[in-house]
Amino acid sequence: MTKTDGVQPGWHRDPAEPDTQRFWDGEQWVGEPLPIDAETPAGPLLARPVPPPPPPLPGETGLPRETGLPGERGLPHQGPFPMRGQPGPGWVLPPGMRLIPPPPRPHGLALATAGARFTARLIDIGAVFLLSLVANAWFLYLFFDAVGPWFREFMRWSGAGQQGDPPAVPESAQFLPFYMVLVLMAVWGAYEVPGIAGTGQTLGKRLMQIRVVRLDTTDRVGFGRSLRRWLNMSLPCLMWIACCGLGVLFQLFDALGAVTNRPYQQCVHDRAVQTVVVAAGEVTTEEGERT
């Protein structure tokens, strides 16, 4: 006979663990124990069943994410982009799930946002405009000196009922805008090319904490590649005067690549030299030098 023989059903001190109490049903201990001084319920304290974990969300580890191209099912992953949480072989996409590759990270750096790139370009345009005003001061003086008398003569001709032929624009005033565009391009090149070649940044990109990097290697962009990149942006400026502003349309088409191009959001001038604009960060070059 044990010391539990004849014990009435109810809560009693557990002989095996004197600091706890358990429910005796007349034949055996049942339920979960309670501290010796805790209030007891009327019956045994049954263990609560552990609910099963909720199904993982699409794309989370635990659901197949890696197999199949976008829109395909049951095929091994063939896409060009590395995925996080890669499942093992043989996994298939559930019905209705499409694989959306994450955005690429060239050299481990996130792509620059369109807003940061646009703001940086506005800052650079303002800086180049101010510098070119200084560089073009002499041409601006000659232009207004030539156009001023012509404009006054034109106003007199217009006020006289437009009789006779209108006064001709001075020949010097016709060529001076072209010279000023050339000076602007020279100032822009001196402003943009060395900065992109060395650190991948202009003043605007430095303020917005973005930079230009090469896609094929972690080396600096370099002067030659930076010059070719700038030429693709700047040569349409020559069409501002000669082609009635047609060059602006080419430059607008170039800039729209940052919004429409996938996956690296490259403008035309970036695609031409295989560069990409990323959030500023530290990259180790192949020679072990940090940039």
269, 232 in Cβ contact below 8 A? yes
Of 244, 223, 221, 247, residue with least CA distance to 235: 247
Is residue 176 within 8 A of residue 147, CB to CB? The reply is no
Dist CA 200 CA 191 (whole Å): 12
In a domain, 81, yes or no: no
Residue 146 and residue 85: Cα distance in Å, rounded? Answer: 70
CA gap 124, 135 in Å, rounded: 16
Q: Which residue would you say has higher pLDDT here, 165 or 107?
A: 107
Ramachandran bin of 136, using left for φ above 0, alpha for ψ from -120 to 50, beta for the remaining angles? alpha
Neighbour tally for 102: CB within 10 Å: 11
pLDDT at 265 over 50: yes
Give the structural domain span for 126.
107-279
Examine residue 58 and state whether it is found in any structural domain, yes or no: no
**Does the residue 253 lie in any domain?**
yes
Answer whether residue 183 is part of any domain. Answer: yes
* Across 133-149, average pLDDT: 91
Peptide bond into 33 cis (omega under 30): no
Residue range 44-99, pLDDT digits in tens: 877 666 667 666 655 554 444 444 444 444 444 444 444 444 555 555 666 766 66
94 is a domain residue: no
Rounded to two decimals, what is the model's pTM? 0.62
Which has more confidence, 31 or 139? 139
Distances (CA, A) of 27 to 3, 9, 30, 272: 12, 8, 9, 86
- Dist. CA 136–CA 145, nearest whole Å: 14
Question: Within a domain: residue 54?
Answer: no
Number of helices and strands in the chain (H, E): 8, 5
With H, G, I as helix, E, B as strand and everything else as coil, classify residue 84.
coil
106: closest CA among 219, 213, 201?
213
The answer to whether residue 273 sits within a structural domain is yes
Per-residue pLDDT of 204-232, as tens digits, reads 999 999 999 999 999 999 999 999 999 99
CA distances, 261 to each of 39, 250, 253, 267 (Å) = 69, 16, 11, 7
Q: Pick the residue with more confidence: 100 or 258?
A: 258
DSSP sequence for 168-235: PPPHHHHHHHHHHHHHHHHHHHHHHHHHHHHTS--HHHHHHTEEEEESS-SS---HHHHHHHHHHHHG
244 belongs to a structural domain:
yes
How many domains in the chain? 1
Residue type, 2: T
